């Protein structure tokens, strides 16, 4: 019996029992659709997190102060920082794997305009900070190194702050006060949206770090942290080691003495942010896969019923020369055809369901090709696995007994 004949016979059997075929396929359809939807949602969430992490900038490494302990009590990482502008300058001069460096002075501040006020984060940075973060101005212009050196009282508003203080108007050229210090708005930053932790990246203002040290923080010695851009992601480990050596040398730390700083880069942040998403996606996909198992059991039941119904037909086929292997292949082809049809239908339903879910909830959904291939192949494998027992039972029938079956 040729393979094409087997396919024709399977198609004819499926056509003869349309309703039973649809009900048999339903478990596979639901299983594949559920897997596709769950993976699409999980993958979309992972991509959003990765996009948020990439929004930190290009090849970013952050050098941050570590917590200190005094009198047996931890003072916290922000209580005392030995990071200084001198450290940033030393990194800029001596590091060979670094493309840009910016000191960062961070504070909470009240920003006041003629129309209202808004409490936000105020960051004092250098002109290099914006190239490190790959962040440009939506209107106006960024401040330059000359503004940093002269500690000019200029400010860049994040999109959220600009909207709260000036509504839809362009604030470039307007005067605002940060605390009690007047500043001139020279630009509004391009919107970045939410970060991986759900915080608003646009709820921020930027001033030259020299101005922040003199006018806002009152501390002209220490920094909140230092932001560094490595030349490439592949050089992260070497760049981290190089920066650590430079800062340890600047702080006169003897060998064996613990660092008084720590470093964080995009890779670590991304791993921490996406690990829970990966686990949740795998869990949801595993739960959805149970539907495939249920669908496979349904196929096995229907194929057993089919073997019973067609016992006399099987006896006739074997009496006129069909081999047990031919009968086995016939029922396996029918089982795999049911699973494959269910898999393809489930794939279409999964895509449509994921798109509808994304439209209703506003979530980003993305279905990787690997998930599609795995779902369809797994559904076909279900057909083989659960169809083998009924097919083997049919192939093992005694022709004489089968012909006597009523």
Q: Closest Cα partner for 26 from 281, 297, 282, 287? A: 297
| Distances, alpha carbon 118 to alpha carbons 44, 83, 187, 275, 334, in Å | 33, 29, 17, 35, 68
* Residue 401 structure tokens: 């007994």
Q: What whole-number distance in Å separates Cα of residue 143 and Cα of residue 135?
A: 13
Nearest-5° angle of CA 109, CA 123, CA 246? 140
The pair phi, psi for residue 158, each rounded to 5°, is -70, 160
| pTM exceeds cut of 0.85 | no
* CA–CA gap between residue 220 and residue 209 (Å, rounded): 10
Tell which residue, 33, 25, 39, has the closest CA to residue 347: 33
Taking residue 185's Cβ as centre, other Cβ atoms within 10 Å add up to: 25
Q: Give mean pLDDT in consecutive 10-residue pieces for the chain, a chain of 406 residues.
A: 64 72 77 81 74 64 74 47 88 92 92 92 94 91 94 95 91 93 95 73 94 82 87 85 93 89 74 66 70 72 70 67 69 76 84 85 76 73 71 66 55
183 membership: H or E segment, kind and range: strand 181-189
Return the sign of the alpha-carbon dihedral for residues 316, 320, 323, 327.
Answer: negative
Angle of CA points 108, 132, 265, to nearest 5°: 80
Count of all residues that appear for the chain in the document: 406
> How far apart (Å, rounded) are the C-alpha atoms in residues 213 and 206?
13
Q: How far apart are the first and last CA of the chain?
A: 26
Backbone angles phi, psi at 123, to 5 degrees: -110, 125
What is the rounded CA–CA span in Å between residue 276 and residue 297? 32
Output DSSP code: residue 402: H
Helix axis angle, 18-54 to 3-16, nearest 10°: 100
Task: Return the pLDDT at 377.
Answer: 76
Are 28 and 292 within 8 A, CB to CB?
yes
Residues 6+ apart with CB under 8 A from 385: 296
Exposure of 24 in the CB half-sphere (CA atoms within 13 A): 29
């Amino acid at each position: 019996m040729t393979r094409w004949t087997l396919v024709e016979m399977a198609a004819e059997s499926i056509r003869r029992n349309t309703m039973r075929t649809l009900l048999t396929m339903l478990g596979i359809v639901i299983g594949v659709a559920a897997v596709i939807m769950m993976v699409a949602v999980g993958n979309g969430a992972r991509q959003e997190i990765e996009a948020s992490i990439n929004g930190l900038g290009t090849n970013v490494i952050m050098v941050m102060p570590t917590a200190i302990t005094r009198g047996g009590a931890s003072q916290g990482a922000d209580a005392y920082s030995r990071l200084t502008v001198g450290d940033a300058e030393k990194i800029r001069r001596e590091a060979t794997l670094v493309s840009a460096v910016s000191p960062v002075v961070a504070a909470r501040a009240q920003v006041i305009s003629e129309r209202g006020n808004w409490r936000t984060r105020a960051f004092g940075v250098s002109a290099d900070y914006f190239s490190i973060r790959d962040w440009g101005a939506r209107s106006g212009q960024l401040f330059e190194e000359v503004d940093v050196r002269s500690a000019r009282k200029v400010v860049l508003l994040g999109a959220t702050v600009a909207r709260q203080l000036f509504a839809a108007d362009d604030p470039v050229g307007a005067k605002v006060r940060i605390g009690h210090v007047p500043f001139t708005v020279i630009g509004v930053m391009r919107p970045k949206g939410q970060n991986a932790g759900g915080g608003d990246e646009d709820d921020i203002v930027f001033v030259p770090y020299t101005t922040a040290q003199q006018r806002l923080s009152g501390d002209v010695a220490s920094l909140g942290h230092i932001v560094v851009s490595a030349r490439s992601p592949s050089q992260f480990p070497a760049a981290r080691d190089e920066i650590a050596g430079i800062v340890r040398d600047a702080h006169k730390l003897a060998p064996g003495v613990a660092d008084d700083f720590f470093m964080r880069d995009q890779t670590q942040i991304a791993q921490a942010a996406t690990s829970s998403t990966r686990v949740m996606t795998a869990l949801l996909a595993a739960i959805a896969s149970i539907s495939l198992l249920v669908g496979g059991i349904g196929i096995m039941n229907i194929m057993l019923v089919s073997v019973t119904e067609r016992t006399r037909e099987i006896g006739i086929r074997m009496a006129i020369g069909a081999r047990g292997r031919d009968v086995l292949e016939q029922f396996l082809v029918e089982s795999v055809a049911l699973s494959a049809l269910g898999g393809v239908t489930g794939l279409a339903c999964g895509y449509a369901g994921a798109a509808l879910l994304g439209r209703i909830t506003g979530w980003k959904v993305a279905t990787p090709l690997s998930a599609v291939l795995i779902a369809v192949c797994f559904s076909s494998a279900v057909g083989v696995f659960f169809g083998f027992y009924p097919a083997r039972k049919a192939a093992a029938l005694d022709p004489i007994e089968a012909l006597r079956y009523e």
